[in-house]
Amino acid sequence: MESGPIRTVISLLLSIAVVVMLFLIMHSLIDTDYVDPGVDDFRVADLVQPDEDIELEKTTPKPDKVEDPEEPPPEMDMVQLDVDMDVDIENIAPQANIDISIGTGTMAQGDGEYLPIVKVAPIYPRRAQTRGISGYCIVEYTVTTSGAIRDPRAVDCSPSGVFDKASVRASLKFKYKPRVVDGEPIEVAGVRNKFTYQLE
């Protein structure tokens, strides 16, 4: 029975001693690290305002106006069409600087031969015009009983691949008086037209 209270007293005394020791250690740590800075050692950085005057630009200058050129850009040369046909006809529409010549095709004597009524000049290809390329293209087609054009195709063009499409498109707009045999209009195959492309 006596050992119980003795243990309690010893434990209490040890715990008090440990607490006192911890307080002393904490106090010694705080006391040794503290250093009084003093008033003389405390300095504040000096801020110096420069004496220069700063000018603010309130308005932005406008750029100079671009003056119109004294000379206008050169105009492109107009292309004129010379119509040269083997068959004389009055109602032909002259167009650009392109010769349109009609080949003979199959023309036999009869009640009436086919005659061109409307001829449309092709549009000079822009690529060829800007590069100064001249040449020609022969298109072969069939003149139908109504005087229209059927199955046009480029048969001889120089330079190749430059004027083919423009010539075929133009030939599709041609109109003819059909050939008449025994009072009946008939088709005429193998009719050729030469388009000559030349820049001035």
pLDDT digits (tens, 9 = 90+) for 101-124: 555 444 444 467 888 899 988 999
Write down the pLDDT at residue 101: 58
Run of H or E residues at 151: strand 149-158
Residue 115 burial (CB < 10 Å; 0-12/13-18/19+)? middle
CATH number of 98-197: 3.30.2420.10
- Please state which of the ranges 168-172, 176-180, 196-200 shows the lowest mean pLDDT: 196-200
The residues that bridge with 90 in the sheet, in sequence order, are none
| DSSP conformation letters of 90-105 | S-----SSEEEEE---
Closest CA to 193 of 125, 142, 126: 142
The residues that bridge with 181 in the sheet, in sequence order, are 184
Alpha carbon separation from 196 to 56, 131, 141 (Å, rounded): 71, 16, 17
| DSSP conformation letters of 40-89 | TT----------PPPPP--SPPPPPPPPPPSSPPPPPPPP---B--SS--
Banded pLDDT at 168 (limits 50, 70, 90): very high
